[in-house]
A = this chain, B = another copy of it.
């Protein structure tokens, strides 16, 4: 009948019980102190804290998780395919933000790469139950069912980016429209007259937003967007290259291009070089992402920077709010983007 009440945890580490004994109080009181309950007198609290310090006590996560029915862990889910594409600012930026935000919460970050649809399904099952308190989803595709699945299971979720303008799942995105506008305004402001754009895969919401930003900026400058100046890439270098050649064929006189990704800008640059155009002399170039490629390109590439770290932080804050209050504090957050000017424009 549970009378052991031993002097130490099985791995030699102190337990709640010992802290209580040392402080001359009950287990409940120590637990209250640890969890910051206000229902403890200051005197008692001090004594307990001293005992904790003396013993070097660290709460046992698993025990706590089991008793409290929470895990103190959130998962960051990354589709495997994407991890390859992860331009460094993206991946590490998000992680840094999440990690920063988690730093003083003692919530753990679980990293989960998902490779196959089968694994995706397994994850949903796995995440349900009390395996994680919440899930952060990154680079979700248009028709990915996971966000809704998790939501329906009652698991707090926050995604990065959104699948459409009507995204129902809580999310944090960056201002793709605004960023594109910034880029195009900048180009026009530098005296460029014929500004073209190379879009990303238009089945991705972000790509559509960037196109929209381009169009708005053109209109704001008093022109009507010209279909001939819009070529679609697919976010890849090769796509950028092909689109650029197309553009140059249609409008040899163009003098600026806004690319919806840095990678496409690299492809575009190659095409421009091949056709004897100088950058930025003949044609000004602007990218999107501000990846390390932009910085080291020759000439260095003007690009739209997304606040990766800020998105990571915001996602985490949102998720924690969702976990805590039963409901996120906003349906969707859009963070501003920023234009980083370099030599290409």
Contact = CB atoms under 8 A, between A and B. Distances in A.
Interface in A1-27: 1, 9-11, 13
A100 B113 CA distance: 8
A80 B100 CA distance: 10
Interface in A106-161: 108-113, 115, 119, 125-126, 128-131
A194 interface: no
Contacts of A119: 103
A305 to B, nearest CB: 15
Nearest to A86: B92
A28 to B, nearest CB: 19
Q: How many residues of A sit at the interface, in one of the four size bands? A: 35 or more
A84 interface: yes
Question: Sorted from nearest, which 6 A-B pairs have the closest CB atoms?
Answer: A62-B65, A99-B113, A88-B88, A62-B66, A111-B111, A62-B62
Contacts of A270: 298
A292 interface: yes
5 contacts: A11-B69, A58-B129, A62-B63, A95-B113, A237-B296
B125 A58 contact: yes
Nearest to A266: B296
A324 interface: no
A103 B112 CA distance: 9
Interface string A287-308: 0000011001110000000000
Contact of A126 (B58, B100, B103): B58
Contacts of A108: 110
A175 to B, nearest CB: 24
A124 to B, nearest CB: 11
Contact of A88 (B9, B11, B91): B91
Contact of A298 (B10, B84, B298): B298
A80 B96 contact: yes
Interface in A161-182: none
A331 interface: no
Interface of A: 1, 9-11, 13, 56, 58, 60-63, 65-66, 69, 71, 73, 76, 80, 83-84, 86-88, 91-92, 95-96, 99-100, 103, 108-113, 115, 119, 125-126, 128-131, 237, 263, 266, 270, 292-293, 296-298
A100 B78 CA distance: 13
Given A58-B125, A60-B66, A95-B111, A296 B293 contact: yes
B115 A103 contact: yes
Contacts of A125: 56, 58
A313 to B, nearest CB: 13
A80 B99 CA distance: 10
B113 A110 contact: no
Contacts of A65: 61-62, 65
A129 B11 contact: yes
B109 A111 contact: yes
A236 to B, nearest CB: 12
Contacts of A76: 111
A92 B56 CA distance: 36
Given A62-B66, A292-B292, 11 more contacts: A1-B1, A9-B129, A62-B65, A62-B71, A86-B92, A88-B91, A91-B91, A99-B113, A100-B113, A110-B110, A298-B298
